[in-house]
Amino acid sequence: MEYGLIGSKLGHSYSKLIHEMLCGYRYDLCPLPTEEEARAFLTKRQFKAINVTIPYKRLVMEYCTYIDPRAKAIGAVNTVVNKNGLLYGYNTDYLGFAHLCDAHGVDFAGRTVLILGTGGTHNTTSAVARDKGAAKVLTVSRTPDAAKGQLSYEEAVSSGAQIVINTTPAGMYPNVGVCSLDVARMPGLEAVLDVVYNPDKTELILRAEEAGVPVAVGGLEMLVAQAVYAAEYFLSRKFDDAAGEIRRVTAALRRDMLNVALIGMPSSGKSTVGRLLADKLGKRFIDLDEEIVKADGRSIPDIFAAEGEDGFRARESAQTARFAKEGRQLLSCGGGIIKRGENLRALHQNGVVLFIDRPLDALTVGGGRPLSSSPEALRQMEAERRPLYLAAADAVIPNSGTVEDAVAAAMEALDEIFSH
């Protein structure tokens, strides 16, 4: 192996994609489940350069002839370069997190910072916060040690912090939807940062957005940034525009990995547009209404007849939660998906939401759709739902011409979204 990543579990790592997108060299994922295997790998030194992830960032330091002072102070190495059989250790997580903060205008000067978690990444983010002038850095733990000044999650709510940083796995795929801190009860928050990058927006970030926190951002950009700085060590050269490379790769990764969800009225063209758009984007097409029928074994009209709208909506939410946490999909959603906030949060956690907007007079009445059985019912439904579609959507896609026109408009909107 020339370049790659070692750690105990690497099944959901994006590092291979990032490095190969960035530099074009082959980058291997090398899972080493036990410490014994990790020590054997490091003893052999049969690599040019590697990244190191949980749980070996401290262990690898024992094998390094040289450790960068910043990595030594943090107590963790995530980048190792083999120079003529001698291992040199660095910490680019620090640089990656610092970039994330700078890119989003997070000002630490004089601020109180709350760090959730006590693991290795706590030390990295704490070092960045202190180096950038934080007045106070507080630590939050599920099992707080009062002797170390640690806070419980309940105590953290009234800490007066302006900045929150999550370094725990709370809300990480596949256990999405988990959030331990009630940010809605914390007035004065200026920024919430989460080092978790899968899903794109954890429950913590979604709640921070809902609470109106000015900066609420997940860890994907940090992941890409640390990889860019690691690649500079790997290749012994600087990128001409490291920040530009970070933006480029982050945008490409989001475009590749995230879902695109289509919302809109029944018969607005979500399935037709969606199938063509899925082909163009290289994403798997999922019709959530079809998945509800598959899972339940009854048609949608039959579900409505037997259990009413509430029974159908419960099944819709279950299938939305099931598919929305995955990636690389085009999700065609039922017309009423916007009636439950939990569905929209599920769609936004790992995707972009587009409103397919078809004129009212072009929509179909009836057609096996229980809630649009008459022109008046359809008109009333459209009036009620339009504000919800507009509020939920990242972009509005007109569908008043050809299908090809709508697909082209959607591609243009996605280009705009992913480039920011």
Rg (CA), the chain: 24
Say whether 247 counts as a known binding-site residue: no
CB-based contact 135:111 (threshold 8 Å): yes
Strand 3-7 and strand 49-52: the pairing is parallel
Given a contact cutoff of 8 angstroms between Cβ atoms, the answer to whether 260 and 418 are in contact is no
Helices (H), 211-299: 220-235, 242-257, 270-281, 288-296
Total residue length of the chain: 420
Maximum CA extent, the chain: 78
Please give the DSSP secondary-structure letter assigned to residue 365: S
Q: If you search the block for the tokens 């609420």, which residue do you land on?
A: 216
How far is 137 from 116, CA to CA, in rounded Å?
Answer: 11
Annotated binding residue at 131?
no
Residue 369 counted as an annotated binding residue? yes
Tokens at 228, concatenated:
């860019």
Is 269 annotated as ligand-binding? yes
Active site residue 57: yes
Phi, psi of 325 (to 5 degrees): -80, -10
Nearest one of 125, 100, 118 to 215, comparing CA atoms: 100
Vertex 53 angle, CA 258 and 9, to 5°: 70
Is 194 labeled as ligand-binding?
no
Which residues, in sequence order, are bridge partners of residue 86? 83
Q: Is 267 marked as a binding-site residue?
A: yes
CA distance linking residue 393 with residue 175, whole number of Å = 25
Q: 118 a known binding residue?
A: no
CB 327 within 8 A of CB 201: no
Identified catalytic residue from 57, 201, 283, 325: 57
149 assigned ligand-binding residue: no
| Residue 317 counted as an annotated binding residue | no
Give the Cα separation of 89 and 283 in Å (integer). 39
| Residues annotated within a binding site for Mg(2+) | 271
| Residues annotated within a binding site for substrate | 289, 313, 335, 385
| Residues annotated within a binding site | 267-272, 289, 313, 335, 369, 385
Q: Which residues are catalytic?
A: 57
| Residues annotated within a binding site for ATP | 267-272, 369
